[in-house]
Amino acid sequence: MNKWTRRAFIGAGTITGGGFLLGVAGFTFAPSRHSLVLADAEAKGQLTTWITIHPDNVVTILIPHCEMGQGTPTALAIMAAEELEADWTLVRVAEAPALDAYANGYIVRAAGGGYVPAVLGRGVDYGAFKLVEWFGFQVTGGSTAVRSTGEYGMRVAGAAAKQMLVEAAAAQWGVPAPECVAKASRVTHAASNRSSTFGALAQAAAGRAVPTSPALKSADSFTIRRTSPQRLDIPAKVDGSAMYAIDFSTPGMLYAAIEMAPVFGGTLVSVDPTPAEAMPGVKKVVQLTEAVAVVADSFWRARRALAALAPQFSDAGHGGVSTESIFAAFDAALGAPPAVPKDAAKVVTADYRAPFLAHATMEPMVCTAKVEGGRAEVWTGVQDPLNARSTAAKALGIDAASVTLTNLLLGGGFGRRLPFTFDYVDLGVRIAQAMSPVPVKTIWTRENDLQHDYYRGAALSRHAGALDASGRPLAAHSVYTGGGNGEAVFMPYAIADLEADEKDAKHPIRPGQWRSVLNSQHGFFKESFIDELAHAAGTDPFEFRRSLLVEQPRFKAALEKAAALSGWGTPLPAGEGRGIAICESFGTIVAEVAHVAVSPDGQLKVKHVYAAVDCGDVVHLDGATAQVEGGIIFALSAALLSEITIAQGRVVQTNFRDYPMIHIADAPHVTTAFLRSDAPLGGLGEPCVPPLAPALTSAIYAACGVRVRELPIRKTPLTRSV
């Protein structure tokens, strides 16, 4: 870890042509998600986040995170521009290169190296925890960019730059700095009627002493934050010019299609390359440990030739694994339902089941690489370019410094393109190595993508709860398989006896991080069970939850807001129902109400979803709203339809025909409200996912009396009447 450069807390410099560069150094991290300790950052930190002010008054903000649809670059630029008092129309963004200097471990850096705080209950949420674990990476994940890089990097950088510009102007004009005002990319001294652009002041500002703790704006003086400027990435996404990894090309480039061992852990035993080699456009059949690739002068020709091969793969001893065997092992690991107090008036038990899920990003995995003379160039789309660069280097047996990695736009991420899941980079560079020095673009088919994902884990959760004679819950216990953590199993309710225990049941299906991670299963489990307790108590599910949230004002306010938005309690036609659920994840509390209709023959229509979101405050209002809408639709598609199943050790599903997604016809209206609280900023990429499934199944129960305990919902007939 000696690579960390020691510099001042905030560093500044000039650029050719007379501009101004500014960066913010690192921060240390204390074992509480809300407690950032700046004291020794000066000694331990490094330059990370940069603002460049050009002589023509354009401000470029370098973003150490990727754009995968979540709008992070725009939101981070807003946070910097707000403090800088920049004219938003003069702000540009660029993604930081894959270099150590842009690692976002700065927020977790502490004395002596990578200090990892214990996850103490909910003391550290998942996103913050992953940031710690990902120390030294350049990751976009865990719904962390705005609340870490933005709050503790971008704002400080913007404020420091503003202060230096103001001081430069004051010195030039011989007036006191406090009389000068920065606004819309100009500094003005009203009394002497003088004004200058940031661009004109940039060079002088760069020579000023760098403030160590610049004053940040108070929320009531925000002019860009909380508004909805147009996202900076959108124009290129409506005219076909946006450049994703799959769109990259370089002269002389060939294309590769691959077939991987269908059983996880399997290897290539043998393949006769002859049938493919004889086909038009084919350059080479590349045999790798776990895959065979055909390289050709067009992807279609490569794929056609690959289909002519009959490779034999080993199954690594996993050929007998199936969805059934995995769930049988889960069931055995859980054993009997957990014990509940013997004096209970009523005991409720239930099992809930969640399937494996694939990410199915619209852009499949792609990696282009050129390997030559101990060096490599890689062009791909990842949620962590720095770690992907290391993956490429390791695969090639060279130093990371010998690899140049260019990160292009991501056609969806959802957790598929995170550290430790860069198999597509690993494979891509090895195929290019076999063709050295010719550059090769390896494109995964949808079939490759669905069958070789890192899956959202399947899980089984067994619950037991007890009510007293008045219907008050005494206890809610659960045991579960498939993974969990303090945040995912946390219930905010005033129930004296809450317990959730993990049981281990191993299987060879490789696990990944899927949008909202463990909250995606546990949100469904715990909120379904509280709903069942409400019904067992004979109490309205909203009122039941509300009565248990007296000590949790943020939860209570979000719950009440979602209920109010939905018209909770007003009569609905027969066959329609509302359901409610609330979850906190990534520092954000989200309550959702689903309004559904179930026809007499069991056809489900999700009519409307109402979301009340407390993420502390909103940076980019329209972008935040888009994340709520997107999170709900993403979760809905999974809740209604998605299931990856395993047979003979391999994934059964192949493409969107058997792993279907919802269409616009299935998409409900979405109404969003943000609650402003004094809580620190929470994430938004993921927290709207977990409450959707339990709100939906709660609504289905209200509409038709069927309690859905297994996802996807389509597996349960909805034909039983109340």
- Determine if 663 is a binding residue for other proteins (CB under 8 A): yes
Residue of 475, 626, 675, 718 that binds other proteins (CB under 8 A): 626
The backbone torsions φ and ψ at residue 205, rounded to the nearest 5 degrees and listed phi first, read: -65, -35
Task: Decide if residue 657 touches other proteins (CB under 8 A).
Answer: yes
Place of tokens 């709860």: 465
Residue 409 in the binding site for other proteins (CB under 8 A): yes
Among 141, 364, 682, 683, interactor with other proteins by CB under 8 A: 364
3 state DSSP class of 463: strand
410 contacts other proteins (rule: CB under 8 A): yes
Cβ-proximal residues to 442 (8 Å cutoff; 6+ apart), any chain = 255, 256, 257, 258, 293, 366, 367, 368, 369, 424, 427, 428, 431, 432
Stretch that binds other proteins, among 81-89, 193-201, 224-232, 582-590 (CB under 8 A): 224-232
Query: Please, which of residues 285-324 interact with other proteins by CB under 8 A?
Result: 298-301
Indicate the DSSP class of residue 113.
B
Nearer to other proteins, 529 or 674 (CB): 674
Pairing of strands 59-63, 91-95: parallel
d(CA 631, CA 628): 5
Pull the structure tokens for residue 404. 């140049």
Selected range binding other proteins among 134-142, 333-341, 361-369, 693-701, rule: CB under 8 A: 361-369
CB-nearer residue toward other proteins: 244 or 420? 244
- 145 or 706: CB nearest other proteins: 145
Cα distances (Å, whole numbers) of residue 534 to 149, 239, 466, 616, 690: 41, 51, 11, 29, 19
Contact 613, 690 (CB under 8 A): no
| Footprint of other proteins on 434-493 (CB under 8 A) | 443, 445-446
Please state the φ and ψ torsions of residue 354, each to the nearest 5 degrees.
-125, 140
Q: Which stretch binds other proteins (CB under 8 A): 142-150, 176-184, 490-498, 657-665?
A: 657-665
Minimum separation from the CB atom of position 145 to other proteins (A):
15
Which residue type sits at 291? Answer: A
Q: Which H or E run includes 91? A: strand 91-95
Give least dist CB 311 to other proteins, A: 20
How far, in Å, CA of 666 to CA of 446, rounded?
Answer: 23
Distance CA 11, CA 46 (A): 9
Q: Decide whether 69 or 127 has the Cβ nearer to other proteins.
A: 69
CB of 634 to other proteins, least distance (A): 5
Sequence-ordered alpha helix ranges (H) in 312-440: 323-334, 385-396, 423-434
Q: Cβ of residue 474: shortest distance to other proteins, in angstroms? A: 39
Task: Verify binding: residue 231, other proteins, rule CB under 8 A.
Answer: yes
Between 231 and 714, name the residue whose CB sits nearer to other proteins: 231
Secondary structure class of 172 (helix, strand, coil): helix
Alpha-carbon distance of 511 to 180, in angstroms, equals 56
Residue 27 or 634 with smaller CB distance to other proteins: 634
Instruction: Provide, rounded to whole angstroms, the least separation between the CB of residue 383 and other proteins.
Output: 12
Burial letters 653-666, b for 16+ CB under 10 A, else e = beeeeebbbbeeeb
- Pick the closer one to other proteins by CB: 464 or 633: 633
Interface residue with other proteins among 100, 133, 233, 543 (CB under 8 A) is 233
Could you say whether residue 656 binds other proteins (CB under 8 A)? yes
Distances (CA, A) of 658 to 257, 353, 439: 22, 20, 34
Residues 55-84 that bind other proteins (CB under 8 A): 68-71
Please say which residue, 395 or 418, places its beta carbon nearer to other proteins.
418
Nearest to 609 by CA among 623, 590, 624: 590
**Which residues contribute to the site for other proteins (CB under 8 A)?**
68-71, 228, 230-231, 233-244, 246-247, 249, 255, 280, 298-301, 360-364, 409-414, 443, 445-446, 622-623, 626, 629-634, 636-637, 655-657, 661-665, 667, 669-670
